[in-house]
Homo-oligomer: A and B are copies of this chain.
Amino acid sequence: MPYELYYWPTIQGRGEFVRLALEEAAAEYVDVARTKNGMAAMTRMMESRQEVHPPFAPPFLKSGRLLIAQTANILLFLGARHRLAPADDAGRLWTHQLQLTIADWLVEIHDTHHPIASGLYYEDQKSESRRRAADFIKNRLPKYLGYFQRVMDANPRSDVYLVGARLTYADLSLFQTVAGLNFAFPRAMARIARRYPRVIALHDRVAERPRIASYLASERRIPFNQQGIFRHYPELDSSK
């Protein structure tokens, strides 16, 4: 039985981190909300009072009778099933720790264009966005990129992966984050990315993996756009 992924049908968003893992695993899945009547099915599940494990928000994944939400939690589950994480406890926790740090980073990236309220339009929080994005580019972006560079420097078993000697879901997620940052903040990234050569090399390497390359070239990959987490507002990008 194929997995059922439930996520907003018009953006990459958090669902994309799950899609990348499913694609790399060559797992069969249905991207439910992108099918006919799929949005209605997703809404029904979110509003159901019968569901004993209701999700707070998409994405969520149905696997047989299991319904799992929270991106990092879904990846914890898929990582163990599809060898996208080490099987031992220490490696499994370390991979998850990196994923949770990427999740924190992602909130900060989103909030560069929504610092006041996710329910308001960007246009209604534009001046606050300018302040938040400037701080993000100056302080937080180098801190996160530097952290992942340091993690790669410290990995005794690989120059190209975050964890041990093999690809994990954390690598896929770091790829997606760098790809999104290149879209959202091209000037800032052009200026500072060279300081984090391993992170950039990881991004490039993941993009070339056969299954990922084929996915990225397919219609299953929703393009970056101005409704997702990563948005390109030139006025929020670095001016230097």
CB-nearest residue of chain B relative to A151? B54
CB neighbours of A150 from chain B (8 A): 49, 54
Segment at the interface with B among A17-25, A114-122, A191-199, A223-231: A114-122
CB distance B135 to A119 under 8 Å?
Answer: yes
Instruction: Select A53's contact among B49, B76, B94, B153, beta carbons within 8 Å.
Output: B94
CB distance B93 to A115 under 8 Å?
Answer: no
Instruction: Select A100's contact among B49, B70, B117, beta carbons within 8 Å.
Output: B70
CB distance A120 to B135 under 8 Å?
Answer: yes
A interface: dominant SS: helix
Say how many copies of this protein the assembly contains.
Answer: 2
Instruction: Select A111's contact among B49, B101, B104, B111, beta carbons within 8 Å.
Output: B111
Question: With A and B bound together, what is the CA distance between A115 and B76 in angstroms?
Answer: 30
What string of 1s and 0s marks CB contacts (under 8 Å) between A89-125 and chain B?
A: 1100110110011001001000100011101100001
Question: Quick one: which of A166-213 are within 8 Å of B by CB?
Answer: none
Question: With A and B bound together, what is the CA distance between A56 and B107 in angstroms?
Answer: 15
Question: Quick one: which of A32-58 are within 8 Å of B by CB?
Answer: 49-56
By size class, the interface of chain A is 35 or more
CB distance A93 to B72 under 8 Å?
Answer: no
CB neighbours of A73 from chain B (8 A): 93, 96-97, 100
CB distance B115 to A128 under 8 Å?
Answer: yes
Question: Quick one: which of A125-162 are within 8 Å of B by CB?
Answer: 125, 128, 131-132, 135, 139, 144, 147, 150-151, 153-156
Instruction: A55-B97, A56-B147 given; name 20 further pairs at CB < 8 Å.
Output: A49-B150, A53-B154, A54-B147, A56-B104, A68-B93, A68-B97, A70-B97, A70-B101, A73-B96, A73-B97, A73-B100, A76-B96, A104-B107, A111-B115, A115-B115, A115-B128, A116-B131, A117-B139, A119-B139, A128-B131
Contacts A/B (CB < 8 Å), 8 sampled? A50-B154, A51-B154, A53-B154, A56-B147, A68-B97, A70-B100, A76-B93, A77-B93
Residues of A within 8 A of B (CB): 49-56, 66, 68-70, 72-73, 76-77, 89-90, 93-94, 96-97, 100-101, 104, 107, 111, 115-117, 119-120, 125, 128, 131-132, 135, 139, 144, 147, 150-151, 153-156
Which 4 interchain pairs have the tightest Cβ spacing? A117-B135, A70-B100, A56-B101, A70-B97
